[in-house]
Chains A and B, each alone.
Chain A
Amino acid sequence: MSYPYRVLAIDDSPHFRILITKLLRRFGFETVETGENGRIGLQKFDSFQPHVVFLDGIMPEMDGLTVLRSIKAKNAVTIVVVTSSLSERDKVLQFKESGADLYLMKPFEEVKFQEVAQKVVNILEARAKASV
């Protein structure tokens, strides 16, 4: 099964960008773009207009929280999945309060990634049905 949703993955690790692209394609997301930092990620967000963003929580230059707030200010309905090793409750809460829809802790198992990807699909399909 393939989904018609555009996905942008913003992460400073080239290995992670390769991994997440592979996983997304494996679970049916064929239109995937990546950005290696917050600035480039936001540029790609403007040009690519993704339905979903997988966003690294910790990045040099512009951290994930700043990027998240910019994305939500540009388009609040974009689904943002934060992928981060940050596990302190107050840090995680900051992402939630800034509009993150889901939070996937690194490192993660493939089965967990699949679960999150399915949640994203469920949200997008529910929205599509509601708008009909």
Chain B
Amino acid sequence: MTCPHCGAENTAGVKFCRSCGLALENSCRKCGHAAGQDDRFCTACGQPLVMPESSPDARRQALQTKQYSPEEIEELLVLRRLTKKQEIASKTLNQDDVDKLFG
């Protein structure tokens, strides 16, 4: 079975891609009913099985299944710390906050 995400060849019947970790077994997210690779809707409950690439669910799934290198993880953590620092620095205070700050 070829992984639709990274193109790696996987042995038949595996649930996740051996290369990128993408879930390969197609099943309905709503009712769990097994579905064929080409099914667009669940044959048990009618839930759409194919998500548009731009949907929040699709993006979340893509992020969840993406494999990060240690360097990428470090980069993401640095970015996250910087964003947090910026958020704190630019936070708008009211008089009560200021009073607490000045004791």
Contacts and interface: CB of A to CB of B under 8 A. Distances in A.
Interface string B51-92: 000000000000000000000000000000000000011111
A90 B92 CA distance: 9
Nearest to A102: B102
Given A96-B101, A96-B102, A101-B102, A89 B92 contact: yes
A76 B101 CA distance: 20
A24 interface: no
Contacts of B90: 88-90
A87 B89 contact: no
Given A88-B89, A88-B90, A93 B95 contact: no
Contacts of B12: none
| Majority-rule SS of B interface residues | helix
Nearest to A112: B95
B101 A105 contact: no
Interface string A97-115: 0001111110010001000
Interface residues of B, number: 12
B92 A88 contact: yes
B94 interface: yes
Contacts of A108: 95
A117 interface: no
A23 interface: no
What are the nearest 6 A-B pairs in CB distance? A90-B89, A89-B91, A103-B98, A87-B92, A105-B95, A87-B93
Given A87-B93, A103-B98, A103-B101, 11 more contacts: A88-B93, A89-B88, A89-B90, A89-B97, A90-B90, A92-B98, A96-B101, A96-B102, A103-B102, A105-B93, A112-B95
30 contacts: A87-B92, A87-B94, A87-B98, A88-B89, A88-B90, A88-B92, A88-B93, A89-B88, A89-B89, A89-B90, A89-B91, A89-B92, A89-B93, A89-B97, A90-B89, A90-B90, A92-B93, A92-B98, A92-B101, A96-B101, A96-B102, A100-B102, A102-B102, A103-B98, A103-B101, A103-B102, A105-B94, A105-B95, A108-B95, A112-B95
